């Protein structure tokens, strides 16, 4: 169904990275420097990132997935253990639990925020539970005080998945600031700080940081920079059969500049989110994000609206098709992980296991939100959503 809506000619992508001349220049000078693998830029990016979030140690990785995996391995999680996470996340948060040999155990979400519900975590703890992987979903903070209080009481390790949460503040403190466990960030192409692929593990625990550093390059006692730079030695040992997970200097070149520009990019995200909030807050038929009081700064990685099925003659999938018809790209974050066939088949998870997550999934749409969107783009998304609601309101 279409009204007299004035449809734009070109498609507005759901997401685009924000790459300026500065990133391009830094990548070119890295290419000319003669050092492409992990080297001085990775080391510099790790240092600056640790300073930025306020952690003692940062270890650059080729993805957040790698950082999540290494966090659990370094904490000694393995076969026979159980690790609790949320089903409202990307598969990486749970797949990496399986990679250690442990079992992923899901805990349902808080139906207001979409983040894991600490009460549900506590219900899932058994004698095998060894760790919790809370996900700072969409750029909101999980309730860390409650999660760490539970973790302390049951002696559990906490590996925070902060793929969406660079810039997020919990009760005034940046995610990753003085972490008690580990915190993993993603620099995937769609993320607030993008290096194409990339990730960072931060921790204040020296032992975990040292283990992580060794595990990311096959468990080698020395990385290539230590071996091939002047004064380095060819000799090395394999201390553990590790992984090939390290960040490299071309990624770090992008990361250094993106970090420098993060504040400016975040300001634009905030402006767009505010514009959406203002435009949609009184639209009958959709709901805007509810932000917990302890999320004092939202990173606005995602802007998620929820449709109210009782008020519209259209479901979420049709709403997305209508947006697509109006040339607006969207996404859905996320298809619940417990409903994926690998999880159903291996662990027997089924529909109905996590009602809050499933209900959330049925109604959510992620709208375009990225710094390079123009005001016209933002207004166009607003008008498109309002037009669809107008066409299909009961
Ligand atoms: C919540 C969450 N965790 C982890 C990841 C994995 O990040 P990466 O692609 O850097 O491995 C993603 C990626 O989209 C994510 O959304």
Neighbour order of strands in the sheet with 169-170: 173-174, 169-170, 295-297
* CB atoms inside a 10 Å sphere around CB 359: 14
Q: Give 239's pLDDT tier (boundaries 50, 70, 90).
A: confident
- What is the phi/psi pair of residue 202, to 5°? -120, 145
- Whether 334 is in the pocket of ligand 1, judged by its Cβ within 6 Å, is no
State residue 125's pLDDT score: 98
Indicate if 324 and 294 belong to the same structural domain.
yes
Indicate if 115 and 255 belong to the same structural domain.
yes
Indicate if 55 and 138 belong to the same structural domain.
yes
State residue 227's pLDDT score: 65
Indicate if 337 and 204 belong to the same structural domain.
no
Indicate if 369 and 242 belong to the same structural domain.
no
User: Residue 169: exposed, middle, or buried by beta-carbon count in 10 A (0-12, 13-18, 19+)?
Assistant: middle
- Helix H or strand E encompassing 132: strand 129-133
Indicate if 59 and 188 belong to the same structural domain.
yes
Q: List C-alpha distances in Å: 275 to 2, 48, 241, 357, 377.
A: 24, 32, 50, 27, 12
In a domain, 342, yes or no: yes
Q: Give 224's pLDDT tier (boundaries 50, 70, 90).
A: low
Q: Which atom of ligand 1 is nearest to the CA of 65?
A: 11
- Whether 90 is in the pocket of ligand 1, judged by its Cβ within 6 Å, is yes
- Domain tally, the chain: 2
- Whether 192 is in the pocket of ligand 1, judged by its Cβ within 6 Å, is no
Q: Give 54's pLDDT tier (boundaries 50, 70, 90).
A: very high
Cβ atoms of 163 and 184 within 8 Å: the answer is yes
Residue 214 is given by DSSP the state H
- Domain extent for 339: 263-392
- Whether 65 is in the pocket of ligand 1, judged by its Cβ within 6 Å, is yes
Q: Are strands 157-161 and 129-133 parallel, antiparallel or unpaired?
A: parallel
In a domain, 249, yes or no: yes
Angle subtended at Cα 383 by Cα 380 and Cα 389, rounded to the nearest 5 degrees:
140
Q: Catalytic residue positions?
A: 191
CA 200 to chain centre: 11
The pick from 186, 243, 258, 337 for probing ligand 1's pocket by mutation, whose C-beta has the most ligand atoms within 8 angstroms, reads: 186
- Whether 89 is in the pocket of ligand 1, judged by its Cβ within 6 Å, is yes
Separation of 388 CA from ligand 1 center, angstroms? 31
In a domain, 16, yes or no: no
Indicate if 62 and 142 belong to the same structural domain.
yes
Q: Which atom of ligand 1 is nearest to the CA of 198?
A: 10
Indicate if 90 and 209 belong to the same structural domain.
yes
Separation of 310 CA from ligand 1 center, angstroms? 33
Indicate if 228 and 346 belong to the same structural domain.
no
Pure H helices in the chain: 21-33, 40-53, 64-74, 91-99, 118-123, 144-154, 206-215, 224-228, 249-280, 316-325, 341-347, 355-363, 375-392
Percentage of the chain lying above the pLDDT 70 cut: 97
- Whether 160 is in the pocket of ligand 1, judged by its Cβ within 6 Å, is no
Indicate if 388 and 287 belong to the same structural domain.
yes
- Whether 86 is in the pocket of ligand 1, judged by its Cβ within 6 Å, is no
Range name among 8-22, 39-53, 228-242, 283-297 with the lowest pLDDT average: 228-242
206, 227, 259 — which closes off a domain?
259
In a domain, 344, yes or no: yes
Q: Give 221's pLDDT tier (boundaries 50, 70, 90).
A: confident
| Atom 7 of ligand 1: nearest residue by CA position | 64
191, 224, 259 — which closes off a domain?
259
Q: Give 47's pLDDT tier (boundaries 50, 70, 90).
A: very high
- Whether 133 is in the pocket of ligand 1, judged by its Cβ within 6 Å, is no
- Whether 63 is in the pocket of ligand 1, judged by its Cβ within 6 Å, is yes
Task: Check whether 228 has a pLDDT greater than 70.
Answer: no
Length reported for the chain: 394
- pLDDT tens for 65-80 read 999 999 999 999 999 9
Separation of 313 CA from ligand 1 center, angstroms? 34
Would you state the structure tokens that stand for residue 393, as one six-digit string?
């309101």
State residue 235's pLDDT score: 80
Q: Which atom of ligand 1 is nearest to the CA of 161?
A: 3
In a domain, 45, yes or no: yes
- pLDDT tens for 76-116 read 999 999 999 999 999 999 999 999 999 999 999 999 999 99
Cβ atoms of 136 and 292 within 8 Å: the answer is no
In a domain, 15, yes or no: no
Indicate if 315 and 215 belong to the same structural domain.
no
Rounded to an integer, what distance in angstroms lies between the CA atom of residue 322 and that of residue 388?
Answer: 7
Rounded to an integer, what distance in angstroms lies between the CA atom of residue 29 and that of residue 25?
Answer: 6
Range name among 99-108, 115-124, 202-211, 212-221 with the lowest pLDDT average: 212-221
In a domain, 4, yes or no: no
For residue 280, the domain's CATH number is: 3.90.1150.10
For residue 135, the domain's CATH number is: 3.40.640.10
Task: Check whether 363 has a pLDDT greater than 60.
Answer: yes
Nearest to 337 by CA among 105, 182, 140, 101: 105
259, 276, 303 — which closes off a domain?
259
Mean pLDDT of 178-182: 96
Separation of 160 CA from ligand 1 center, angstroms? 12
In a domain, 14, yes or no: no
Indicate if 322 and 234 belong to the same structural domain.
no
Separation of 333 CA from ligand 1 center, angstroms? 11
The pick from 15, 92, 199 for probing ligand 1's pocket by mutation, whose C-beta has the most ligand atoms within 8 angstroms, reads: 92
């Amino acid at each position: 169904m279409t009204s007299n809506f004035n449809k734009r000619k070109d498609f507005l992508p759901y997401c685009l990275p924000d790459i300026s001349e500065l990133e391009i220049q830094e990548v070119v000078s890295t290419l000319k420097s003669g050092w492409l693998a992990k080297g001085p830029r990775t080391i510099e990016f790790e240092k600056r990132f640790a300073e930025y979030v306020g952690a003692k140690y940062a270890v650059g990785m080729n993805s957040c997935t790698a950082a999540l995996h290494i966090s659990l391995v370094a904490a000694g999680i393995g076969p026979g253990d159980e690790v609790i996470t949320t089903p409202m996340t990307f598969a990486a948060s749970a797949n990496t639990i399986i990679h250690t040999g442990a079992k992923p155990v899901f805990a349902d979400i808080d139906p207001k925020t979409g983040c894991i519900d600490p009460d549900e975590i506590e219900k899932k703890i058994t004698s095998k539970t060894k760790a919790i992987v809370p996900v700072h979903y969409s750029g909101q903070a999980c309730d860390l005080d409650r999660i760490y209080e539970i973790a302390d009481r049951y002696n559990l390790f906490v590996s925070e998945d902060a793929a969406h949460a660079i810039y997020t503040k919990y009760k005034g403190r940046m995610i990753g600031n003085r972490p008690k466990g580990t915190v993993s960030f993603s620099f995937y192409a769609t993320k607030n700080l993008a290096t194409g692929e990339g990730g960072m593990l931060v921790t204040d625990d020296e032992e975990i940081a040292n283990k992580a550093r060794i595990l990311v390059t096959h468990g080698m006692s020395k990385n290539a920079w230590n071996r091939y730079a002047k004064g380095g030695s060819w000799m090395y040992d394999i201390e553990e059969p590790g992984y090939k997970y390290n960040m490299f200097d071309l990624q770090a070149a992008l990361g250094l500049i993106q970090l420098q520009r993060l504040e400016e990019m975040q300001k634009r995200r905030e402006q767009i989110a505010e514009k959406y909030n203002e435009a949609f807050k009184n639209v009958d038929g959709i709901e805007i994000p509810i932000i917990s009081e302890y999320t004092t700064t939202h990173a606005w990685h995602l802007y998620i609206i929820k449709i109210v099925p009782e008020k519209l003659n259209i479901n979420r999938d049709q709403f997305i098709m209508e947006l697509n018809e109006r040339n607006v790209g969207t996404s859905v974050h996320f298809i619940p992980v417990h409903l994926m066939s690998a999880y159903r088949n291996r662990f027997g998870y089924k529909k109905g296991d996590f009602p809050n997550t499933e209900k959330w999934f049925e109604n959510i749409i992620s709208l375009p939100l990225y710094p390079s969107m123009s005001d016209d783009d933002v207004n166009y998304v607003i008008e498109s959503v309002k037009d669809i609601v107008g066409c299909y309101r009961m």
